[in-house]
Amino acid sequence: MSVTNLQGDYDLILYGLGVMGENLVRNFARNGYRVIGVNYVVPVTEKFARQVAREDVRDRVGVAETLAEACKRLKSPGGAVLTMITANDPVTQPWGPIDQVFFSGSQAVRSDTEREEVPPLVELAPEGTVIIDGGNSHPRSTRRRCAELEKRNMLFLGAGVSGGPDGALKGPCIMPGGSRKAYDVVGKMLQDVAAQADGPCCAFMGPHEAGHYVKSVHNGIEYGIMQAISEVYHALARLLGLKPAEIQPIFAEMNAGRHGGYLMEISTEILGLTDAETGAPMLDVVLDRAGQKGTGKWTSQLAFDLGVPVPTLAAALQARIMSSFKPERVAAADALACAPLKEFDPEGRDKLIEAAGDALYGAMIASYAQGCWLIQEASRADPDEHGGDYDFTVPMDEVARIWKGGCVIRSRLLDPIREAFLENPDLHNIMLAPPLRRILNDGSFQQNWRAWVRTMVENGLPADAIGNSLNYFDTYRAARLPADMIQAQRDRFGKHGFERTDRPGKGHHLPPSD
């Protein structure tokens, strides 16, 4: 018997009933929209139908066995299809599941043996339907899809959605980009379900791949801040012998102040958790091998493509990669030694805790600074020089505003960042914004940040995010860098030529060697 239970017309089809997808259905329905939930594995749709039948949103939620059946009941014009499907890597898997659903046809899987071919959305969706890819797609895939769908007169949005299952239910941050016309049709609907912070945490990020570009960078910043927080917890535990529960109040205090934000909040909570099986602090039983789904890697790749420095974000990625070599690290821990850890007297201990706060804040500023600069550089880049990529201009003050609610990197620091971009949309680096500059130039703040990094180096502890953030600060503010020697070396072995400090022109050379 078919699971389809549709009655009348619907505003939206949500295709992909994973943890995010099913909660988005509930969120749209709670906001008064009529939604159809579909998953390509029919038993998943069935399970969802059973659950939702017991919930107060049931009158506004229908389910369909196939996308084809769902499309017949979509409101037209003005209906939308939101896909929440795992993205593909544009290099290793250029044609992914999203492309099948959109362009070549997919399947409805009833069981191991029973499948039904489903025509592509471009054939199924009524004219004027807005198609929204709400997954973490690579900006290049999104640009390609935008162009393909435009050719077929379809309206498309590539929308980054942040906030996990909880955000999906209570209000995520939505970063849509693509067709402005599409946003005019579905913008209100997306804004209605988004989190609220000085208005809805959903705004049009720009044409083509702008939305997914902003979401990728969001995830890069997420990696940077997560790594910095983790380094602080790790060092306080290792150097001061503090248990997670003893670190919790230190984090709670930071979270109540200027460090406040979602990642600090969940880290504080995690520090207080106990493993039900062993009674040990939860963190003691979590294996130190970080996973990643790829978007953090994309951010570093995108930054390297454009030549924008993102040392904190890249270091955070590399730290996850290093962590994945657990057996090798365990073996090396025996083979490679470091002098015993330093002892801390009570005064040294208080100083280290104070330094932790400033060092972490420095790394947070650096993470946002790198991400914002990357988005700005993408906006400035000439599409003709980049095969058509970057044909967008992202409103930075709006990025900072919508990131204030619903998303993983929401934090208090976004207030001065937004103010800074409102005052000067072309601000080169948020470290130059007066309120942040004041903090960074404060002698004791800087000394604390430096002392923290020095302590990590002296004791052989990781400072990937916090140390690289300090380097970023120091190299960005350096009027002169060691690149003079690099240019001279390049000229010596490759005759590459260099620029001189005292007159223009590029093709200057070193005197011939003897």
Cα 41 to Cα 3, 196, 269, 389: the distances in Å are: 12, 33, 35, 35
Q: Is the peptide bond before 77 cis (omega within 30 degrees of 0)?
A: yes
219 binds ligand 6PG (CB under 6 A): yes
Residue found under tokens 């090396």? 332
Catalytic-role residue among 215, 231, 297, 398: 215
Reference 356, options 469, 455, 476, 244; nearest CA is 455
Name the segment binding ligand 6PG (CB under 6 A); options: 91-99, 240-248, 286-294, 482-490: 286-294
Q: Which residue is nearest to ligand 6PG (CB)?
A: 162
Cβ neighbours of 322 (radius 10 Å): 16
- If you ran DSSP here, which 8-state letter would residue 325 be given? -
- For ligand 6PG, the closer of residues 134 and 357 by Cβ is 134
Nearest approach in angstroms of CB 116 to ligand 6PG is: 30
- For ligand 6PG, the closer of residues 281 and 406 by Cβ is 406
Active-site residue flag, 215: yes
- For ligand 6PG, the closer of residues 217 and 436 by Cβ is 217
Nearest approach in angstroms of CB 415 to ligand 6PG is: 20
Of 8, 279, 291, 307, the residue at the interface with ligand 6PG (CB under 6 A) is: 291
Rounded (10°) CA dihedral 416, 417, 422, 428: 130
- For ligand 6PG, the closer of residues 5 and 86 by Cβ is 86
d(CA 249, CA 256): 10
Name the segment binding ligand 6PG (CB under 6 A); options: 1-9, 253-261, 285-293, 495-503: 285-293
Residue found under tokens 């229908």? 62
Cα 428 to Cα 208, 374, 376, 380: the distances in Å are: 24, 10, 8, 11
Name the segment binding ligand 6PG (CB under 6 A); options: 77-85, 95-103, 161-169, 326-334: 161-169
| Parallel, antiparallel or unpaired: strands 155-162 and 173-178 | antiparallel
Tokens of 291: 């996973």
60, 110 Cβ separation under 8 angstroms: no
Of 164, 199, 435, 497, the residue at the interface with ligand 6PG (CB under 6 A) is: 164
Contact pattern for ligand 6PG over residues 443 through 472, marking x by CB under 6 A = ------------------------------
Reference 225, options 162, 164, 253, 267; nearest CA is 267
- If you ran DSSP here, which 8-state letter would residue 90 be given? T
102, 120 Cβ separation under 8 angstroms: yes
Of 263, 407, 420, 433, the residue at the interface with ligand 6PG (CB under 6 A) is: 407
136 binds ligand 6PG (CB under 6 A): yes
- For ligand 6PG, the closer of residues 185 and 226 by Cβ is 226
358 binds ligand 6PG (CB under 6 A): no
Catalytic-role residue among 22, 69, 209, 222: 222
Of 52, 365, 408, 465, the residue at the interface with ligand 6PG (CB under 6 A) is: 408
Question: Can you name the residues that pair with 118 across neighbouring β-strands?
Answer: 106
Nearest approach in angstroms of CB 289 to ligand 6PG is: 13
Contact pattern for ligand 6PG over residues 17 through 56, marking x by CB under 6 A = ----------------------------------------
Nearest approach in angstroms of CB 175 to ligand 6PG is: 9
Nearest approach in angstroms of CB 162 to ligand 6PG is: 3
292 binds ligand 6PG (CB under 6 A): yes
Task: Reduce the DSSP state of residue 320 to 3 states and report it.
Answer: helix
- For ligand 6PG, the closer of residues 193 and 236 by Cβ is 193
d(CA 368, CA 411): 11
Q: Under rule CB under 6 A, how many of the chain's residues touch ligand 6PG? A: 13
Tokens of 129: 């339907």
- For ligand 6PG, the closer of residues 159 and 451 by Cβ is 159
Nearest approach in angstroms of CB 293 to ligand 6PG is: 4
> What is the Cα 23 distance to its own chain's centre?
20
256 Cβ neighbours under 8 A, 6+ residues apart: none
d(CA 46, CA 48): 5
At position 261, the amino acid (one-letter code) is G
Q: Which residue numbers are catalytic? A: 215, 222
Please give the residue ranges that form the binding site for ligand 6PG (CB under 6 A). 136, 162-164, 219, 222, 291-293, 295-296, 407-408
